[in-house]
């Protein structure tokens, strides 16, 4: 896997044209402008038949679908124009979904360097398509994925927080995040949550911080004592207000060590800070 972020990347922005998807578009702009990346805006439209294989002369029998397609194309065109007005390279993809294919299959086929998508905020009563698929994407793709839930508190990304187990296997993820932070002009915090069931003495945690960060004094190293990782995350986030909270996951076992596979999914579902998931393998 790559250990540094690269310019000339592609950001995949998944949208259902909702307000929270608009918040995700803000982050897509930030990433694209700072990384000199292109933006692919993808909308997945469910159709009652296999629209790709449907004969052209039979489309008239599905007037509602035709209206939905026309509306989606107009909205995608507007989003692309909005990005282009800011000097960004952008294009759109409209996917007709019918049958057993999954969202993450379309994501993988797009081969992006980043995926950015919205998810419903805490306490929301409104059904939201991406909210129902965010967890599946987190589980099933290896591409770095940013889940956005609310309007950004700041106009720029200034602080990225990496919740780490300090394991050697997480060093490639740390290197990616360090590179990303440099390109975005953001500070990087590395947080370790010391729990009763996975406790490190201070001397050992200091050693692990040094090994992971390679003695880089520009990185803030933060140790938090808490009953569980989620409590530690909340304690940090409430006091530091990071623009992005990043976690590493492994391909085989979900989130390494005390990060069980549902931790990020729980955070995405319950809490509102932007969550970046990066595969450690």
> Do the domains 159-279 and 10-148 match in fold?
yes
Fold of 10-148: Rossmann fold (3.40.50)
Tell me the CATH architecture of domain 159-279.
3-Layer(aba) Sandwich (3.40)
Kind of pairing between the strands at 145-148 and 275-279: antiparallel
Q: Please, are residues 170 and 212 in contact by the beta-carbon 8 Å criterion?
A: yes
pLDDT for residue 128: 36
Report the alpha-carbon distance of residue 132 to residue 145 in Å, rounded: 15
pLDDT tens track of the chain, all 281 residues? 444 556 678 999 999 999 999 999 999 999 999 999 999 999 999 999 999 999 999 999 999 999 999 999 999 999 999 999 999 999 999 999 886 667 778 888 899 999 999 986 444 444 334 455 676 777 778 899 999 988 888 888 999 999 999 999 899 999 999 999 999 999 999 999 999 988 999 999 999 999 999 889 899 999 999 998 888 988 998 899 899 999 887 654 444 444 454 565 566 555 678 889 998 76
Distances (CA, A) of 93 to 56, 67, 71, 191: 20, 17, 14, 38
pLDDT for residue 99: 67
* Adjacency order of strands within the sheet including 275-279: 90-97, 38-46, 10-14, 114-118, 145-148, 275-279, 244-249, 159-163, 187-194, 220-225
What are the residue ranges spanned by the domains of the chain?
10-148, 159-279
pLDDT for residue 253: 42
Q: Which residue in the block uniquely carries the two structure tokens 């955070």?
A: 267
pLDDT for residue 2: 45
């Amino acid at each position: 896997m790559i250990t540094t972020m690269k310019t000339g990347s592609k950001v995949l922005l998944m949208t259902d044209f909702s307000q929270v998807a608009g918040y995700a578009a803000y982050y897509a702009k930030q990433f694209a402008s700072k990384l000199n990346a292109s933006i692919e805006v993808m909308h997945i439209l469910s159709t009652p038949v296999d629209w790709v294989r449907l004969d052209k002369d039979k489309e008239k029998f599905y007037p509602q679908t035709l209206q939905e397609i026309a509306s989606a194309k107009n909205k995608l065109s507007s989003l692309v124009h909005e990005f282009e007005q800011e000097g960004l390279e952008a294009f759109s993809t409209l996917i007709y979904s019918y049958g057993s294919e999954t969202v993450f299959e379309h994501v993988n086929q797009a081969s992006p360097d980043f995926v950015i998508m919205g998810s419903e905020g805490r306490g929301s009563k409104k059904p939201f398509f991406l909210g129902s698929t965010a967890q599946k994407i987190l589980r099933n793709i290896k591409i770095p994925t940013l889940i956005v839930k609310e309007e950004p508190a700041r106009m720029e990304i200034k602080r990225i927080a990496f919740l780490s187990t300090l394991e050697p296997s997480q060093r490639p993820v740390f290197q990616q995040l360090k590179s990303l932070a440099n390109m975005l002009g953001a500070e990087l915090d590395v947080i370790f949550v010391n729990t009763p069931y996975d406790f490190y003495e201070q001397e050992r945690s200091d050693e692990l911080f040094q090994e992971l960060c390679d003695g880089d004094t520009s990185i803030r190293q933060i140790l938090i004592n808490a009953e569980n990782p989620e409590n530690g995350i909340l304690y940090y986030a409430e006091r530091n207000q990071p623009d992005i909270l990043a976690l590493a996951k492994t391909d085989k076992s979900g989130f390494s060590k005390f990060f069980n596979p549902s931790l990020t999914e729980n955070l995405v579902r319950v809490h509102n800070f932007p969550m970046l998931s990066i595969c450690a393998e």
